[in-house]
Each structure stands twice: as structure tokens, then as C-alpha cells.
Amino acid sequence: MTFTQLEIFVLVAEYQSFTLAARQLNITQSAVSHALKSLEKHWNVRLMTREQNQIELTHIGRQLLQHAKELLNTAQIMQQEVSASLGIQQGTLRIGSFGASASIHLLPELLKAYRQRYPHIEIYVEEGTDHEVAQWIQQRQVDVGFAVLPRPHLDTFPLLQDIFIALIPASYPIARHAQLNIQELAHYPFILTKAGSQTHVEQLLRRHGVQPKIQYQMSQLLTILNMVNLQEGVAIVADMSMTPELLQLHPNVVKRPLTPNTQRQIGLAVKDTQSASPAARAFIQLAQEMFYFDA
């Protein structure tokens, strides 16, 4: 068994494709197939099945996949520790990010500063929902990720507070209110976000007994803004995602804070602080230097 075989196994499982795994590693598809057969022969098990171009992990394949990821992650951490001891800041960093709040408000400025401090670290960013990012961290698909806190099963590092706001067409009577009771949203067509904060918006509505008249469900913030701008309904989004520049492009949209308080805490998370790579620990430290706010 070699680390190369394990890496091929993990990539084929993640991409569900021999071709994409081969392309990622810049090797032939036959080399991928040979590596997997050698691994199966070494363990004397069947790792995956292929039927009609569909790849599916066997039960033992799913079990071993998690261990393979753990081993590869440990090998990467060991290499980074060696490099750090020699004064060489190199390696890779896989970051999970969700929604406009993290991907637009936090990540670009943080990545710029991180690259300036650690120019030889290769950075990969995966974007998904808050729930997906938490799963990626748990499965070690990413080294560190942004998260809405708390996350009891992960090691977390708070950064800042955010609130939810209502986006309202300027022509609606409630747009004249300085702040908006969340109960009032039940009387208007509602545009539900399908992006990173969807789960939290739904929980917020349920907590206050609001049954929205859902008109649309949309995953892109710009699309939501355009629909509100066209007076098609109201929406709830995270305040950090709503920059002044975006609002200027949509003159018929106003944003209003919600009552009761709709605060949430955003931070970074890793599966286990002790096993986090030096690159991930440096990323967390820099984020805390730049954004940490003690509420």
C-alpha cells in the first residue's frame, strides 16, 4: 500500500470518475485503474463497483475511505511540520466557505493577507452551504472552514457577529419602518434563499411562528435582489452579504433590521485543533488578528 494509491482511491471516490481523477493527478486512466486493483489485492476486498459508467463504493470501501483521508491528512501535516521546522512555509490549505457572508465579506481580504504572509502555500477553496462545509470539515475534505457557531462536534474559533436583515421593495408600506417585526413578513410574498444561510433563515421563521408565503426559492443573492427590486416579494439575508455597492445597484430595495434580535456568530472550524496542519493554524491565527470581535 502506498500514499499514491490512497490518494487515487480518495480522488476516484470524490469525483466518482476514473477520468477526472487521472486528469487531476496528470496520469493515465489505466494507471488509476491499476492502482485501485493493487489496493484491492493488498486488502483482499472490493472497494467499488462500476456499472454503466456509475461508480459506487462498497460498504467496506466507504469505511476505508475515511481512514484513507485521515492517513493522507496526517502525511500532509507531517510534511508541513518538517517544512516549518526548516523555516520553509510551504504546503497546501483547503478552505470551506459558505454564502456571501464568508465568501464575499471575509474570504477575499483574508486570502490576500494570507498569501502575502505565506506566498508558497497552495490554497484551494470549496464553496457550499453552511451544512455542507461542516460535513467537509468532519470528513477532512477541507482543512478549515467558515461556520455559523456553535458547532458542538468541531473545534471552533469565533470571529465576529452578524445579523439577519429584511430586504423590502421601497414601494411596500413596511419599507417606511426603521426596523421590522419579523411577524410582519408573513403578510407579503416571500423569497427564500437556497444559499448558505437557508437553514438559519428557516429556523428563524419557525422560532417566531412565521409561515411565509413563499413565492420563489433562489440560491443567488443577485437574483434575490433583482426580484425584490422588481417588487416581487421580501427576503431575509445576512447583513454581511449586503454591501453598499450591491444596494446602490438596486435602488428600489431597502434593508431593515429585524426584531426580535436575529444575531448570529460566524467563525472558523476544524475537526481537531491538535491534528490541524500548520497552514490551517496559521490561517486561523491570521483571521483572529483581522476579524476577531469579543462580543
* pLDDT at residue 254 is higher than 70: yes
195 in the same domain as 147:
no
- Over pLDDT 90: what percentage of the chain? 49
User: What CATH number should be reported for the domain holding residue 99?
Assistant: 3.40.190.10
pLDDT at 184: 93
pTM exceeds 0.85: no
Asked whether residue 65 falls in the same domain as residue 110, the answer is no
pLDDT at residue 253 greater than cutoff 90? yes
Same domain for 121 and 46 = no
- Which residues are CB-contacts of 147 (< 8 A; sequence separation ≥ 6)? 98, 130, 133, 134, 137, 154, 156, 266, 267, 268, 269
* Number of Cβ within a 10 Å radius of residue 263: 11
Range of the domain at 204: 161-262
pLDDT of residue 165: 94
- Residue finishing a domain among 64, 82, 100: 82
One domain for residues 106 and 94: yes
Domain boundary among 82, 98, 129: 82
Of 12-26, 165-179, 246-260, 281-295, the one with minimum mean pLDDT is 281-295
The residue ranking higher by pLDDT, 243 or 226, is 226
| Same domain, residue pair 102 and 132 | yes
Domain boundary among 38, 61, 82: 82
CATH number at residue 52: 1.10.10.10
What percent of the chain is modeled with pLDDT above 70? Answer: 96
Q: Residue 88: pLDDT above 60?
A: no
Q: Is there a single domain that holds both residue 206 and residue 118?
A: no
- Same-domain check for residues 138 and 279: yes
Q: Identify whether the C-beta of residue 110 lies closer than 8 Å to the C-beta of residue 288.
A: no
Question: Left (φ > 0), alpha (ψ -120 to 50) or beta: where does 242 sit?
Answer: beta
Reply yes or no on whether the pLDDT at 294 is more than 70. Answer: no
Q: Which of 7-11, 72-76, 229-233, 237-241 has the lowest mean pLDDT?
A: 72-76
Residues 45 and 188 in one domain: no
Higher local confidence (pLDDT), 24 or 182? 182
Among candidate residues 197, 199, 182, 194, the one with its CA nearest the CA of residue 234: 182
Provide mean pLDDT across the span 214-225: 92
Are 66 and 32 part of one and the same domain?
Answer: yes
pLDDT recorded at residue 293: 62
Q: Cell triple for residue 96?
A: 470551506
Residues 97 and 137 in one domain: yes
Q: Which residue, chain included where needed, has cell 455542507?
A: 132
Across the chain, mean pLDDT equals 89
Pairing of strands 144-149, 91-98: parallel
Number of structural domains (the chain) is 3
- What pLDDT, in 10s, does the model give residues 91-146? 889 999 987 778 877 899 999 999 988 888 889 999 888 889 999 999 889 999 99
**Same domain, residue pair 140 and 272:** yes
**Whether residue 148 is found in the same domain as residue 269:** yes
CB atoms within 10 A of CB 270: 24
pLDDT given for residue 295 in this prediction: 46
Closest CA to 145 of 219, 196, 193, 195: 196
String of DSSP letters for 107-120? HHHHHHHHHHH-TT
